[in-house]
Structure 1
């Protein structure tokens, strides 16, 4: 290999630095431009949702049960606590049985509602059996229910990184909502282990989860 000591100029390599991923498959070039980050997030979002949907329904049901057990272990006594959950969408963990159990054990539950694009979510009280109507993306939302501020917010993830930053669906509703709340609730991201990623390239507007629960770990 040529080198400076031989007077033949700088060393030459089989791959230039921009091909570092050939040497280390885990290498990711840093993204600093928001346009590039948004483009990357869109592609990563599509990849992770497809991977989630590729898991069989029976397996997702079993993983959802383990996530519910992890939530119980993390939260402890649920009596007199108000928990916001979500209606499962595109292969997300189905925590509706756990929602019912929260109400049976003396807790209260709510669901998030999109009121307007670019605005924070509103939480409305909901328990299994209450009347629902179609909301954004045809996701069911409470037809009635008083606006509330939950003590605990359970948020589904599309991806999650080691800093507990959540990759969502790109609407910004979740971060906007947390920033507008008068107090910080316990925010728990829930998802599957396959949704863990090295980074979401967090931006100043991104707010990390307090905790993360998957079918395998509470971290």
Structure 2
């Protein structure tokens, strides 16, 4: 180890445990605040935001994928006042795309993705979230990730379980990642830690807020 050879060696990837605890406490408080703010929005406000975002994702897909026929995309089943994109997902299916939903197969394990259609059999999964009951597991070409919060550097504040980052770290090939959230959920920074993985794009009802140059 470098620190044994040179005691004054500084590892820039090392984690300061006290700082990590401070960040975790801060994230917990911000997560609660942002979830309360989102819950306070009316159903019509959330529906309008979802409709605007769906149109903006369509524009982004048209720029990146000349033909979405056969494209496999992962989304989410809305919980905790999340934006409901299911009507738009159904339109993707009608255009020939494949839609998947994430499935927790074991605590703290990377997510799996199962194909979804409006008439597929659903069961109650982890956190009581409905998931496809069966069917093949696939690797999506594109993942949409719901954002509790986000920052201008492309980092996502989620629910704190680490499932999304853990999944991105092992998927091969790694899919394009688009974070979907509200403009009001913008944070100056989430204080990214070594395990945090920046998204390729962050998109809100106001448009694209972040995009990796090589994404």
Q: Do these two structures clear the TM 0.5 threshold for a shared fold by scoring above it?
A: yes
- In structure 1, the residue matched to 2:36 is 50
**Matching residue within 78, 88, 92 for 2:68:** 78
- In structure 2, the residue matched to 1:170 is 160
State the distance in 2 between where 1:49 and 1:172 align: 17
1:36 aligns to 2:26 (yes or no): no
Query: How much has 1:32 moved relative to structure 2?
Result: 7.1
State the distance in 1 between where 2:89 and 2:207 align: 20
1:62 aligns to 2:48 (yes or no): yes
State the distance in 1 between where 2:93 and 2:180 align: 20
State the distance in 2 between where 1:32 and 1:101 align: 47
- In structure 2, the residue matched to 1:179 is 169
TM-score by length of 1: 0.84
State the distance in 1 between where 2:32 and 2:68 align: 35
Query: How much has 1:183 moved relative to structure 2?
Result: 1.5
- In structure 1, the residue matched to 2:122 is 132
Query: How much has 1:79 moved relative to structure 2?
Result: 1.4
Structure 1 gaps, min length 5? 1-30
State the distance in 1 between where 2:69 and 2:205 align: 24
State the distance in 2 between where 1:180 and 1:193 align: 29
Moved over 2 A (4+): none
Structure 2 gaps, min length 5? 1-16, 210-215
State the distance in 1 between where 2:117 and 2:199 align: 24
Aligned pairs, number: 189
Could you say what secondary structure the match of 2:207 adopts? coil
**Matching residue within 190, 215, 218 for 2:208:** 218
Q: How does 1:7-46 map to 2 (within 5 A)?
A: 33-46=19-32
- In structure 2, the residue matched to 1:10 is none
- In structure 2, the residue matched to 1:6 is none
State the distance in 1 between where 2:195 and 2:156 align: 12
TM-score by length of 2: 0.86
Q: Deviations over 1:76-120 (max 9, x none)?
A: 132110000100011111000111011000110000001111110
Query: How much has 1:194 moved relative to structure 2?
Result: 0.8
Could you say what secondary structure the match of 1:64 adopts? helix
1:160 aligns to 2:150 (yes or no): yes
